[in-house]
Amino acid sequence: MTGPALSAVPWGPVAAGSALGTACVAVDRWLAPSGPGSAMLWFGLAGFASASAFVLDEAAAAVVDAVPRTLRWRTARRLAVGLVPLACWLVATGLVDRSASALSWPALAVTGTGVVSVALGASAALRRSGNPTPGDVVAAAVGGGTTVLVLVAVPDIGLVLEGGDPSTRATAWWLLVSVVGAGLVAWGSADPAAGHRRPRRAAAGHAPRRSALRQPREVLAALDTDSARCQR
């Protein structure tokens, strides 16, 4: 059953987002005048996170839901694909970090984990809310949010997309975002019927109640009795 779950993944947007992320990181490393560490690096992260957001799309949700597998089961197998763009980010930033003393790979890793986690969490939450294909909405939000965070500082934290020092408030902020994203994934992948109560079992030592409907033998016996009374 793993095959049908993975075959429903929209591989086109996932591959396109990963390719865009790789290209942006390469431009930051070799072509950007202010790189490594320019805005192109963070647009690359946005591309990888957008690729992850499409992994949870289920265009044929009505058909897939008819399969005897839970939503949590399908989500768990799709997450294996959704974490591939994050792995690409970790590898790419590891190569960039070697040529940039101003960057810190641990800080870049935490930031990337936070962005990808919140993208997956938003997709899972929107899917549970009734949108079977939330990837395009989340991808647009990730792109817009990345642009804002590159230019605007968060109050009391500063620029959260800087990747220079893992001991700053920005790194702690992304750790918190990662936890929130993981929580959204867990909530969004819960089965709708998971909260329904199961029927109570009969308590030990007590026989189950008999149905109010008579059994066929009881009905025949009652008819014979009524017939005998009429003959009298």
Low-confidence residues in the chain, pLDDT < 50: 1, 195-200, 202-204, 207-208, 210-214, 219-220, 223
Query: For 187-224, how does the pLDDT look when each residue is reduced to its tens digit (9 = 90+)?
Result: 998 876 654 444 445 444 554 454 444 455 554 455 45
- The CA angle 86-87-90, to the nearest 5 degrees, is 90
Query: For 3-18, how does the pLDDT look when each residue is reduced to its tens digit (9 = 90+)?
Result: 666 677 888 999 999 9
CA distances from 68 to 72, 73, 125 (A): 12, 10, 22
Q: Assign 3-class secondary structure to the chain.
A: CHHHHHHCCCHHHHHHHHHHHHHHHHHHHHCCCCCCCCHHHHHHHHHHHHHHHHHHCCCCHHHHCCCCCCHHHHHHHHHHHHCHHHHHHHHHHHHHHCCCCCCCHHHHHHHHHHHHHHHHHHHHHHHHCCCCCCHHHHHHHHHHHHHHHHHCCECCCECCCCCCCCCCHHHHHHHHHHHHHHHHHHHHCCCHHHHCCCCCCCCCCCCCCCCCCCCHHHHHHHHHHHHHHHHC
Token pair recorded at residue 189: 């992948």
Q: What are phi and psi of 121, to 5 degrees?
A: -65, -40
Residues listed for the chain: 232
Question: What is the reported pTM?
Answer: 0.77
Tell me the domain boundaries of the chain.
2-192
